[in-house]
Amino acid sequence: MELRSITKKNFFLNPANLKRPWREDYLAMFSSQWQGVTTDPDLMMIPIDDHLVHRGDGVFEVMRCVSGQIYQMEGHLQRLDRSAKAISLNLPSDYGRIRELIGKLVVTGGERDCIIKVILSRGPGGFGISPFESPLSHMYINVIRFRNLPDEYYEDGIPLVTSSIPIKKSFFANIKSCNYLPNVLMKMEAIEAGCKYSVGLDEDGFLAEGSTENVGILSADHVLKFPGFERTLSGITVNRVFQLADQLVKEDLIRGVEFARISLEEAYQAEEMFLTGTSLGVLPVVIYDGKRIGQGKPGRVYARLSGLLWKDMTENRDVLTRIDWEPGDSV
């Protein structure tokens, strides 16, 4: 077998000829290693010897820009700080200007509705397992075109299945680590079951979380319940939904809202069920493990929560970070 020799001179000849349509959504990237920004997907690369790549040694956050403003950026960055501290990952030198970098990168991407992914990696330094091989941590920021879920997901609801994949233990569950293999297997299992989403159970058989989503129910006695964060990631969106749900108590739509252990049987008997997440907001579940939830259609509590969250995402200045869309200095 004859192998083509790759050199600096011909490196980009082959990638330019490959058809990779999914890259049309890659709007911009910043790399602390290259100290710059690119809008060319061919250049959006990470070194193979970065421990992020071959060990999953890094942490990340995903946030959403809505109509030109970033929703809950501070909450996401605080969780990113906690995750980095939990794995003793020193913050890259550029992290001090993370807010400025994110804003300018979004403007460079050119779309007011987008997803921002920030990754902090252990950095390049060899192919061993020791984190001390890497002399410097690095930061990568990607801006990605936002594509909403199909309208029918929200209008008709979605099916959900229970995953057989064991969830992460509490220490790792509370770190937003780049090692997402259990989450990947959960998503694979859901798709192979004819669904888009699945939810895992903790070691005692209670609801935990989805592959990238938190789960909640409206119980048969009209209490809004979410699994606690002892065994799941403390979701930025679900915490906000929890706060907004106080309005539903005032309106007598629900009796109360709480973090609680939710059994499978209680979930099957729920009046309503839904998922929450950064990119999907609140998503109604109408079938769980083949069993109809409530009336088998999105309910009033889902509709009210979804409306409150959207208003929060678009009008609440306390949780929105404005971006300067006027041309300015380069990143």
Catalytic residue positions?
Answer: 176
Half-sphere exposure of 261 (CA within 13 A, CB side): 9
Collect all residues with Cβ–Cβ distance below 8 Å to 35 and sequence separation of at least 6.
none
Q: At what angle do helices 236-244 and 73-86 cross, to 10 degrees?
A: 130
- The letter for the amino acid at 308 is L
User: Burial code of 14-34, b = ≥16 C-beta within 10 A, e = fewer?
Assistant: eeeeeeeeeeeebbbbbbbbe
If one counts every other C-beta atom within 10 angstroms of the C-beta of residue 118, the result is 23
Burial of residue 270 (number of CB atoms within 10 Å: 0-12, 13-18, 19+): buried
Q: Is the dihedral of CA 264, 268, 271, 274 positive or negative?
A: positive
